[in-house]
Amino acid sequence: MQVTGFIFAAGLGTRLYPLTANRPKALVRYQDKTLLDNAIDKMWNSGIHDIIVNVHHFSDMMLDALRNHPHAAHIRISDERAYLRDTAGGLKFAEPLWKNSDILLLYNVDILSDIDLSKLVDHHIQQQAEATLAVRHRDTQRYFLFNGTERQLCGWENIKTGEKILARAADNHDRLAFSGIHVINTDFARCIPSVEKSSITQFYLSNADHHRILGYPHDADQWLDVGKFDEFRNLLS
């Protein structure tokens, strides 16, 4: 099966300001690498050499960085300079770039983790899932809900606002936080509506009752969301 990586790197990076005052969040450096380099290296070391990166904010800087990347990976650009389309919208917009692939490995550029991406993809294939979401037991405000046996997506909950969406019936729910890393079959991704802007969370919830969308817990792995300035500053201290 042909697996293509997709790095979500087009965001404005407002949560990382002031580090993003003069650069995109993908080019913020952690240790000796940019977040973009980290994501590309992560995919390359997992055997994923066909990679798509979406760009919007400080797009010229992003294009320069991608042109000068040292790996032999086949990196293609999904150009969202005209309009920032969110996750599902951006993925659908890039469909001409991934139309010949079978599986997409989706990775938020502001995530640092030692998760084994090869095992994630293998699990996705073995379970015959249409989408597989890397998830963890951690404290946050928003959670995906999964049934307790198959870990099939059942809903979503915001524990701060009390908002709750139940997408399919289940006797009990396991509340797990999304890690910003997921796998989706291209046949399923083609079902994303052709609208200018839409969220992958909403897409998954809208399809959870009749598609096989599974959770993949990876609590044993190291994981950090470095998209917030205070958390990133604490990481460097």
pLDDT of residue 102: 98
Average pLDDT over residues 6-31: 91
Coil, strand or helix at 9: coil
**How long is the chain?**
237
Comparing C-alpha atoms, which of 94, 112, 111 is closest to residue 51? Answer: 94
Q: Residue 29 forms beta bridges with which residues?
A: 34
Contact 229, 16 (CB under 8 A): yes
Q: pLDDT (tens digit, 9 = 90+) per residue, 112-144? A: 999 999 999 999 999 999 999 999 999 999 999
Task: List the domains of the chain with CATH numbers.
Answer: 3-236 (3.90.550.10)
CA 99/CA 96 separation, integer angstroms: 5
Coil, strand or helix at 61: helix
Q: pLDDT (tens digit, 9 = 90+) per residue, 138-183? A: 999 999 999 977 899 999 999 999 999 999 887 788 999 999 999 9
Q: Residue 33 forms beta bridges with which residues?
A: 30
Average pLDDT over residues 18-26: 90
* Residues whose CB is less than 8 angstroms from the CB of residue 107 and which lie 6 or more positions away in sequence, other chains included: 5, 6, 7, 8, 39, 42, 43, 180, 181
Comparing C-alpha atoms, which of 70, 61, 50 is closest to residue 25? Answer: 61
Give one DSSP letter per residue of 69-97, joined into a string: --S--EEEEEE-TT---HHHHHHHHTHHH
Q: How confident is the model at residue 68 (pLDDT cuts 50, 70, 90)?
A: confident
Q: How confident is the model at residue 229 (pLDDT cuts 50, 70, 90)?
A: low
Coil, strand or helix at 237: coil
Comparing C-alpha atoms, which of 218, 32, 36 is closest to residue 118? Answer: 218
Q: Cα-flanking dihedrals φ and ψ of residue 29, to 5°?
A: -95, 140
pLDDT of residue 148: 78
pLDDT of residue 167: 93
Average pLDDT over residues 22-36: 92
Q: How confident is the model at residue 30 (pLDDT cuts 50, 70, 90)?
A: confident
Coil, strand or helix at 178: strand
User: Taking 90 as the threshold, does the pLDDT of residue 188 lie above it?
Assistant: yes
Task: Give the pair of three-digit tokens for residue 113.
Answer: 């983790």
Q: How confident is the model at residue 97 (pLDDT cuts 50, 70, 90)?
A: very high
Look-up of token digits 């917030």: 228
Q: Residue 67 has what DSSP assignment? A: H
Q: pLDDT (tens digit, 9 = 90+) per residue, 78-96? A: 999 999 999 999 999 999 9
Q: Cα-flanking dihedrals φ and ψ of residue 5, to 5°?
A: -85, 145
pLDDT of residue 232: 66
- Average pLDDT taken over every residue of the chain: 93
